[in-house]
A and B are shown apart, each in its own frame.
Chain A
């Protein structure tokens, strides 16, 4: 089944304790991205990657790191989480169109992160 797999689904952690949210896709998509979703603020892009070793900042990158060492994986790293990073996080992937349709995202199931 074509999918984006995110882990964990739920995570409660303490301020300052480094964590990684994993994201893996099995569709050979070039493009991957991370979003956070907060009430009243909608979905905001954190980082994106156009291909292996190519990453760039989105709208709210502060406090986050990413890496793209393999095409299928795009982990999100919080080096020193703070309570304002409590949110619902989504990983998403899509092909990059050469011609024709502009592809939408396939989303992971989401990670509910609580930082206390």
Chain B
């Protein structure tokens, strides 16, 4: 089974609107971390947000928030008030507990296009 699944290969959003990028994960480890990265066309990987499996609250970083639904094993990224500069590939990723620390699982990515 895929560890990280991103089912939206591409999405469009109107500037200034909010958008949700989907991510589901699969693990039996009670300790894990979920991450979102942004990859603009220039190629670099930029860390956006982190959610730990034991965190009670959903993570937020500026315009980014993570909608963490543990029972559903989903970790959707919400971008509020989209900007043109948000156009990029977005990757969801997971790292499992300390016993499997060397593995970092990435989804296949969602390409977001923000329309003016």
Query: A106 is contacted by which of B47, B95, B104 (Cβ under 8 Å)?
Result: B47
Q: Indicate if the CB atoms of A104 and B31 lie closer than 8 Å.
A: no
Q: Tell me if B108 and A42 are in contact (CB < 8 A).
A: yes
Closest B residue by C-beta to A90: B45
Give the bracket for the number of chain A residues in contact with chain B: 20 to 34
When A33-B104, A101-B52, A102-B52 are in contact, do A110 and B45 touch as well, CB less than 8 Å?
Answer: yes
CB distance from A74 to the nearest CB of B (A): 14
Is A109 an interface position by the 8 A CB rule?
A: yes
> B102 touching A102 by the CB < 8 A rule?
no
Interface assignment of B10: CB less than 8 Å from any CB of chain A: no
A33 vs B31: C-alpha distance when bound (angstroms): 21
Asked whether A79 is an interface residue with its Cβ less than 8 Å from the other chain, the reply is: no
Contact size range, B: 20 to 34
Instruction: How many A-B residue pairs have C-beta atoms within 8 angstroms? Tell me.
Output: 59
Give the residue of B46, B91, B96, B104 whose beta carbon is less than 8 angstroms from that of A45: B104
Q: Complex formed: what's the CA distance from A103 to B106 in Å?
A: 15
Are the CB atoms of A104 and B35 closer together than 8 Å? yes
Summarize A's interface: helix, strand, loop or mixed. strand
Task: List residues 64-116 of chain B with CB under 8 A from any CB of chain A.
Answer: 91, 93, 95-98, 101-104, 106-109
Q: Contact between A50 and B102 (Cβ–Cβ < 8 Å)?
A: yes
Q: Does B25 touch A at the CB level, under 8 Å?
A: no
Contact with B along A92-107 (1 / 0, CB 8 A): 1000110001111111
Bound: A42/B5 CA distance, A: 12
Q: Please tell me if A56 contacts chain B, counting CB pairs below 8 Å.
A: yes
Q: List 18 A-B contacts (CB under 8 A).
A: A31-B101, A43-B106, A48-B102, A50-B102, A88-B43, A90-B45, A97-B98, A97-B101, A101-B50, A101-B52, A102-B98, A104-B93, A104-B95, A105-B35, A105-B45, A109-B44, A110-B45, A112-B43
Q: Hey, which bits of chain B sit against chain A, CB under 8 A?
A: 31-33, 35, 37, 43-47, 50, 52, 91, 93, 95-98, 101-104, 106-109
> Which residue numbers of A lie inside 8 Å of B, CB to CB?
31, 33, 42-43, 45, 48, 50, 56, 88, 90, 92, 96-97, 101-107, 109-110, 112
